[in-house]
Chain A
């Protein structure tokens, strides 16, 4: 029950602090703006371009959001009033991760759907394998966001300050998530194993973050 309360609370927090608005409106808008600002982008379908933008920016956004939130709340001793109640510490971390992940996934979905709608209007009928390819790259993007977010949870718990945390996120979790996509790009490998590896790494990092938070002296 406490996990449900914490998860709803985190979503409520993103809603109240306008993070959701910025993500859900901001990410699709940013995709559109960048598309029309790039002279060469016109050759690429908007939905594919937006998927690229989402993978580049969505992962960074979610990982920075998560790490900074955890560092701030840890520094201000916000967690004290939670962990003295009958809840498990991992519930705090997993609820935060899922809330951030969900927010970014919804933002990415809105952005890509907007791109698809524009592409359909512009191109008429879409090529037969277009949607399948788009879904594959979307799933890989989500995998990357999962890896960078779970790594950022770990960084957030370990970092002594926001600055160190942000640097570690940009240098560490984002690069780690990008490494997963390399086999697909370099060897033209299938997306399915990449998604599987992403899920596995995300799970391992999240477990590590939870174990570390459990043992950490707040």
Chain B
């Protein structure tokens, strides 16, 4: 395992009775990076994560964290990681303080330090005022922040987050994403799964794409873009002129178009054309026909488009 890898999965397979949930999955995560793990529901994301943190056993292959094999070293490995499930669950009688105090102590924080750690962690997450509230009295977003607090309380090197922002309101999602960036700056490594692809695109240094239990891509989003043929597209916004239909069918290099809203259009170009040259030609022709152009530029496919195309094209590594 290379020194800058903090997590390494090698040929990991897992079956639940006759269902193969993971098939020969191998990848590694570099120290200090944010690794996004994407895949449709039932693809095996949670299974991978639960194997990685030692919650699931009886699998083939090997997992090591910081160069230490997970099998037989659970206690040592567990001290290095923090985990946040999709919905953090606590015993109902607990207050936030009691929950964090127990988890902090179990994670090896000395009794004399645990109070100050709880205070600073809650402060960091902006939920200091909830410290002595019962967990049953908290909203879903606040409860997830408490979940995040227990994951980072003991200052772990590696954070494993399973759909951490699913079900959060936009404000909380923004706060979580900002926290992830801050944690990366501090040198933490984060692996998180999400079906909200824009979140992964915003944050992840590299991504892993899982489909039907098989890992079909590991790399940066740009690398994924290079592998997937997703038609060339141009965004066009007009500021007035003759009726669009008078020219729509005779635009140079345009295979098809889509009316987005108002005077905005998405033009899908023919495969062989050069995008910049076509934009230049389009501008010339549109202006010659009396159209006024407010904006025209090539559209980069989103991770979501790439992901769908990737799975549709059945590309495999």
Asked if B74 and A86 make an inter-chain contact with CB atoms under 8 angstroms apart, the answer reads yes
- Give the interface centre of B53, B79, B93, B98 by most chain A CB atoms within 10 Å: B93
How many inter-chain contacts with C-beta < 8 Å in the A-B complex? Answer: 62
The reply to whether the CB of B29 lies closer than 8 angstroms to some CB of chain A is: no
Asked if B106 and A82 make an inter-chain contact with CB atoms under 8 angstroms apart, the answer reads yes
One digit per residue, 1 when the CB lies within 8 angstroms of any chain B CB and 0 when it does not, for chain A 72-91 equals: 01001110111111110000
Closest to A215 in B: B57
Residues of B close to A17: CB separation below 8 A: 92-93
Asked if B91 and A84 make an inter-chain contact with CB atoms under 8 angstroms apart, the answer reads no
Query: CB < 8 Å: which of B74, B76, B90, B106 contacts A5?
Result: B106
Per the bound structure, the CA–CA distance linking A73 and B93 in Å amounts to 12
One digit per residue, 1 when the CB lies within 8 angstroms of any chain A CB and 0 when it does not, for chain B 91-124 equals: 1111000100011011110000000000000000
Residues of B close to A9: CB separation below 8 A: 102
Query: CB < 8 Å: which of B56, B93, B107 contacts A85?
Result: B107
Say how far B120's CB is from chain A's closest CB, in angstroms: 20
Interface size on A, residues (CB 8 A): 23
Interface size class of B (residues with CB under 8 A): 20 to 34
Asked if A217 and B83 make an inter-chain contact with CB atoms under 8 angstroms apart, the answer reads no
Chain B interface SS verdict (over half): loop
- Please report B residues at the A interface, Cβ cutoff 8 Å: 53-58, 74-76, 78-79, 81, 83, 85, 87-94, 98, 102-103, 105-108, 147, 150
Asked if A84 and B83 make an inter-chain contact with CB atoms under 8 angstroms apart, the answer reads yes
Asked if A84 and B53 make an inter-chain contact with CB atoms under 8 angstroms apart, the answer reads yes
Asked if A85 and B91 make an inter-chain contact with CB atoms under 8 angstroms apart, the answer reads no
Per the bound structure, the CA–CA distance linking A217 and B47 in Å amounts to 11
The reply to whether the CB of A44 lies closer than 8 angstroms to some CB of chain B is: no
With contacts A78-B90, A84-B78 taken as known, whether A5 is within 8 angstroms of B83 at the C-beta atoms is no
Asked if B83 and A80 make an inter-chain contact with CB atoms under 8 angstroms apart, the answer reads yes
Residues of B close to A80: CB separation below 8 A: 55, 83, 85, 89
Query: CB < 8 Å: which of A2, A73, A78 contacts B106?
Result: A2
Per the bound structure, the CA–CA distance linking A85 and B154 in Å amounts to 11
Residues of A close to B53: CB separation below 8 A: 84
Residues of A close to B76: CB separation below 8 A: 86
Per the bound structure, the CA–CA distance linking A82 and B91 in Å amounts to 11
Asked if A81 and B88 make an inter-chain contact with CB atoms under 8 angstroms apart, the answer reads yes
